[in-house]
Amino acid sequence: MDKKTWVVERDASIQIQQLTSEYLEDAIAMMENSFLRYENVCRALGVDKDPKAIAELDELMRATAKDGVTVIAVDKTKNKVIAAAFNKIQVRDAGGETPYFEIFAKTCQQRSSQAVVKFMLDIDNLCDLFDHCQVDCLLEIMFLGTLPEYRGKGIAKRLCEVSIEIAKNLLDGVNVKRSVDGRELGLEPVPKIVSAIFTSFITQRIGRQLDFQIAAERSYELFEFEGKTFASSIRYQLLTKKYLDDACGVLKATLFTSGNLCKAVGVPNDPEAAAELDQLPRRTAKDGVTVIAVEGSKDKVVGVAFNKILQPGGKFYDDLAKSFRNFRALQIIDLLHNENICNLFEHCQVDCLMEIMLLGTLPEYRKRGIAKKMCEISVEVAQKLLDGVNVKQSIDGEELPLEPVPKMVTATFGSFISQRIGRQLGSIHYQLLTAKYLDAACEVIKSTLFAPGNPFNPETLAELDQLPRTAAEDGVSIIAIDKNKDKVVGVAFNKLFTPGHTFYEDFKKSFNNPRSLRVVDFIVACESMCNLFERCQADCLMEIFLLGTLPEYRKQGIAKKLCKMSITVAQKLLDGVNVKRSLEGEELPLEPTPEAVTAIFNSFSRGIGRKLGFEIAAE
């Protein structure tokens, strides 16, 4: 076949092409320095520090490449492979045949490489894609990696797009397979779908952008290796003297090098400024409330939130400024300490606050939620101090007093990434619905779903009010609360259904108002368009039954978060973890257990459904 290439729109010097023998070993070496070193599962399983395991997984990539559908990205200015999608054509097993990955796992001698293949098998077993999609062959984007210095250019997404294009060509009868070993490759077998196991929120975002449908999800907390969950490779703790230099080194390599404020005043090109600014985190650390993220397997600080406790009239910044000589370092202090913009003590009527002053994560550990987690823990530290629990951790061995106690947490977020973290960590708290909040949650539904554009009379509203109250009895409804006001601002009333249920029929018998009857008839009509029990091969479903957010709290991702947490609740129940709670807080029976989550999305909430991977059953 003729050679075909693609380019990356953001950088025409980066060329996408199918893997050939010329680049095979370079592509594998590149994956050793990207995917096998940095991918979440590989890190959790210790592949990055086991050369023999890496060598065994190299053999898996060589074998995969023989299928002729692997795609690479090449920097043409250097003739260098910088990214790859190793794609495997999988065929439905004939009766009694052993799956490919199971066969390969038996050839592995190292625990880490065995565990990687076992993880892939475990995920595959969550959902039989051949049955689920009614196909006999698929193309799996098995390993997807980009060198760290080339990330952020859309290369991984482009590799996935080209992989999909290759699968479509094959399905159309065009043999685009490209041999890496001289063998002639036939058109058959032909993949009917493209699948992938997306293991990070970055690749998951690519999946959403390319309209992949979620067939199964599983938390890293549920996978273990050598007694630790996959989620536990990064630990978070208060800063101690042992890690002080390393934590300051993280800031030097991140905030002082690439932070927007520092770049704006020229700190990266001024060693003297950087040396003076090193005193800023060291003095801040003395307050005992700084949080660090440590890579457990390497005992390495990979992220830090230097937190400072401040009071009105404090001289912290003034004293620093007196000791500084470099004008660029002084500019940073002036930018951080600008009360002319907003005096937070007066604005919030407090006499003490904790500021997340300096926040940084090493580049190779970014996009894993580490910065957000450090901010969350910083907020928890402030809350414990406010509750009278002295958690301050001295870096020099001295006992630190509880006072002064911060009444709030602040931060100067200098990038759109940290600003997004700030928005996500606002005052909204999510939990299962309890009796305390039932009336308020019903009012949210009444003022959002039932009222706008539908000025129902009081009788209609009174009857419809019974719908959420009855659904709440199943113990799986989720609410969003503005903690500052102790106010319910959003709710997902979730209802468990089994085949043959009479939920709606019972309501129709109790309703007298024609308008409330029409609402129920509309819901029944929507659900009758598709028998979801048959479609999903399930004997119990959880429906996101009534979803609403108060108008003044919209466009903050609250509805999406409510839906996401509803899915998490269903997944836990399916895994045998009973999270059902009555409105009074008592444990409810685990059964019935939902095997799928459904919803009737309107024009506003439909986008949430797409983002969360809901399949459209009927329109």
The Cα 243–Cα 247 span in angstroms is 6
> Using CA of residue 441, residue 442, residue 443, residue 444, what is the dihedral sign?
positive
Last residue of a domain, one of 400, 424, 448: 424
Query: Which tokens is 364 given?
Result: 């190779």
Name the more confident of 298 and 96: 298
In a domain, residue 618? The reply is no
Query: Which tokens is 595 given?
Result: 């095997």
Based on the fold, state whether residues 437 and 343 are members of the same structural domain: no
Name the more confident of 349 and 214: 214
Based on the fold, state whether residues 377 and 450 are members of the same structural domain: no
Helix axes 201-209, 155-171, angle to 10 degrees: 50
Based on the fold, state whether residues 217 and 237 are members of the same structural domain: no
Helix (H) or strand (E) holding 255: helix 255-258
Based on the fold, state whether residues 305 and 188 are members of the same structural domain: no
Residue pointed to by tokens 């927007």: 260
In a domain, residue 616? The reply is no
Last residue of a domain, one of 404, 424, 444: 424
The Cα 191–Cα 170 span in angstroms is 7
Question: Could you say which DSSP state residue 499 is in?
Answer: T
Q: pLDDT band for position 197 (50/70/90)?
A: very high
pTM of the model: 0.47
**For the segment 110-146, what is each residue's pLDDT rounded down to a tens digit?**
999 999 999 999 898 889 999 999 999 999 999 999 9
User: Mean pLDDT over residues 299-319, rounded?
Assistant: 91
Based on the fold, state whether residues 225 and 344 are members of the same structural domain: no
DSSP state letters, 266-289 = TGGG-HHHHHHHTHHHHHHGGGS-
Based on the fold, state whether residues 420 and 438 are members of the same structural domain: no
Based on the fold, state whether residues 258 and 221 are members of the same structural domain: no
CATH number, domain at 244?
Answer: 3.40.630.30
- With contact defined as beta carbons under 8 Å apart, do 177 and 185 qualify? yes
Q: pLDDT band for position 154 (50/70/90)?
A: confident
Based on the fold, state whether residues 390 and 484 are members of the same structural domain: no
Query: Which tokens is 294 given?
Result: 């440590």
Q: Does residue 463 register a pLDDT over 80?
A: yes
pLDDT at 201: 67
What residue spans of 271-413 are helical by DSSP H?
271-277, 279-284, 316-323, 327-336, 344-348, 370-386
Q: Does residue 9 register a pLDDT over 60?
A: no
In a domain, residue 454? The reply is yes
Name the more confident of 441 and 616: 441
Based on the fold, state whether residues 113 and 206 are members of the same structural domain: yes
The Cα 582–Cα 432 span in angstroms is 9
In a domain, residue 617? The reply is no
Name the more confident of 486 and 201: 486
Residue 288, phi-psi category: left (phi > 0), alpha (psi -120 to 50), beta (remainder)? left
In a domain, residue 252? The reply is yes
Based on the fold, state whether residues 225 and 252 are members of the same structural domain: no
In a domain, residue 544? The reply is yes
In a domain, residue 87? The reply is yes
In a domain, residue 619? The reply is no
pLDDT at 4: 61
Last residue of a domain, one of 213, 230, 247: 230
Q: What's the structural domain count of the chain?
A: 3
**For the segment 332-382, what is each residue's pLDDT rounded down to a tens digit?**
888 777 655 678 888 778 899 999 999 999 988 887 788 988 998 998 899
Query: Which tokens is 51 given?
Result: 């050369």
Based on the fold, state whether residues 9 and 86 are members of the same structural domain: yes
Which structural domain, as residue segments, surrounds residue 414?
233-424
DSSP state letters, 507-562 = HHHH---HHHHHHHHHHHHHHHTS-HHHHTT-S-EEEEEEEEE-GGG-SSSHHHHH
- With contact defined as beta carbons under 8 Å apart, do 3 and 17 qualify? yes
Based on the fold, state whether residues 350 and 285 are members of the same structural domain: yes
Q: Does residue 388 register a pLDDT over 90?
A: no
User: Mean pLDDT over residues 530-557, rounded?
Assistant: 87
